[in-house]
Amino acid sequence: MTHLNETDKAYLLNSIRDIEDFPKPGIIFKDITTLLGDEKAFNFLLDHLSTRYENQEIDYIAGIESRGFIFGAALAARLRKRFVPIRKPGKLPYTTISEKYSLEYGVDEVAIHIDAFSSLGTHKPKVLLIDDLIATGGTATAAVKLINKAGAHCIEACFIINLTFLQGDLDIKKTTPVYSVLEV
């Protein structure tokens, strides 16, 4: 189904477990392992995402390490699209390009293989970016920049959960559509 009603969203949200004070005091961690461990909820989510994206022009689905790999690769297999991993630094074996981003304290980085998106005739490769969750938005904003640096076009950034009170999607929305299945 393209549109999820409030009952559908409550069903998915209830399949995700909240863990208080992980990994630090004050954080409520959204634990998606309970969604993955519930085959009905996981397939319900994948049915929804497949319906949303099946008729859109997409050449690649890129997932952000590590939880974005799970949803991104599952959706890519269903839609018969190519999957590209966006990884933490030092993990990819071939030549990479990378993008740094700020954390609350310090910096982090995401990387991609330089040839991840091979050119497809006349058009720039169209990429759907997927991650499980957007919090401050630092990771996903850097990932969108990386997709552009790699010569592709990010057609949408998709998240299963958006922690809306952090407004992490504001920067991405300046250049790229954002879709969040669940807003918390």
Ligand X SMILES: O=P(O)(O)OC[C@H]1O[C@H](OP(=O)(O)OP(=O)(O)O)[C@H](O)[C@@H]1O
- Give me the catalytic one of 6, 39, 57, 104: 104
Coil, helix or strand at residue 43: helix
Q: Are the beta carbons of 133 and 159 closer than 8 angstroms?
A: yes
Cα 41 to Cα 47, 107, 142, 182, 183, distances in angstroms = 10, 35, 30, 13, 17
The stretch near ligand X (CB under 6 A) out of 6-14, 53-61, 76-84, 133-141 is 133-141
Note if 80 is an active site residue.
no
Note if 87 is an active site residue.
no
Q: Which one of 8, 38, 65, 171 is in contact with ligand X (CB under 6 A)?
A: 65
Report which of 78, 84, 158 is spatially closest to residue 117, judged by C-alpha positions.
84
The stretch near ligand ADE (CB under 6 A) out of 27-35, 37-45, 72-80, 110-118 is 27-35
131 binds, among ligand ADE, ligand X, none (CB under 5 to 8 A by kind): ligand X
Quote the least distance from Cβ 20 to ligand X, whole Å: 17
List, in order, residues 6 or more apart from 114 with CB less than 8 Å away: 94, 95, 96, 97, 150
Residues involved in catalysis: 67, 104
**Interaction site with ligand X (CB under 6 A):** 64-67, 131-140, 168
